[in-house]
Amino acid sequence: MTSFNYRLAVVLFAALAVNGVTARVVVAQTNSAEKAAKKDPTAQTMQHRRGPKKLALSNADGAVITLWKPDLSKRLLKPAMDVITVPPTGVDNYHAIIIEQDWGDAVDAIIRYEYLRGKPSGESPTKLTSAIKTDLEIVPDPLPREHHRYYSGEKATFLIRYRNQLLKNQPVVMQTGNGSTLKVVTDNDGRVVMTLPDDFKNVVTGERDQRSADLSITTEYLESGRHYTSTLSAEYRVSPVHWQYKSWGLAAAGVGFLFGGFLTSRANRSKKERS
């Protein structure tokens, strides 16, 4: 279960300055989930399959939590005992959970996209990501396809948008639940391309590893005297490259043996025919 310590996030947000001074970012992970993942890599996956998705949210008094459906219809969510339960919507596609806190002179937001199962929505995920859901957004460009995830070592692209304006030269910070930090700046089109850290420990080459961890991407922006902070929260997993390349190698070797055997057999038959 993903955990958001909202008030801690608000405090740490202040450490990220627009001028590029240090940054400590935001979405805390639960130690229990990490321990469970080490003992049983499939634990988190199985948890998602058993029932509604649940997100832990601490110290979020006064925060507004909104669930956006693929058709852009919305409903408010309320945490119970610091847990947000994302209810089934009956629609298959990405949904967005938006957590906002308006302090008057500052606005903090956390955004997370979750894939829910149901009947085909008939909508493109781009419709959801393109919609303005909070003032300052980190927009996946694009979201991972169905049945895919963010994977360690792979590149991911994001747009940084204030309302309908893409922000160039905007500082952005990624932090993973495994302890890695990456700082980048948007290009002239408001885009950043980030390589997700390959930072899972004790990965065994050739063995399937289904562990996952959370990552957060954060940016800040000052406009008309108001300080905006936005964080995109997502899950990433161990890259299949760690075990798939060995399988492909064995498969290629197998093809080689078969092909070699075929040629040898054919050569032997030719010798027998000539004799």
Per-residue pLDDT band at 272 (split at 50, 70, 90) = low
Tell me: the pLDDT tens digits for 101-128? 999 999 999 999 999 999 999 999 999 9
Per-residue pLDDT band at 266 (split at 50, 70, 90) = low
- pLDDT value of position 79: 87
Calculate the alpha carbon distances from 82 to 115, 149, 229 in Å: 22, 26, 22
Q: Cα 160 to the chain's mean position, in Å?
A: 16
Q: Which CATH class is domain 2-239?
A: mainly beta
Q: Are 72 and 128 in contact (CB under 8 A)?
A: yes
Segment 25-29 mean pLDDT: 34
- pLDDT value of position 3: 54
Name every residue whose Cβ is closer than 8 Å to that of residue 12 and which is 6 or more positions away in sequence: 24, 25, 26
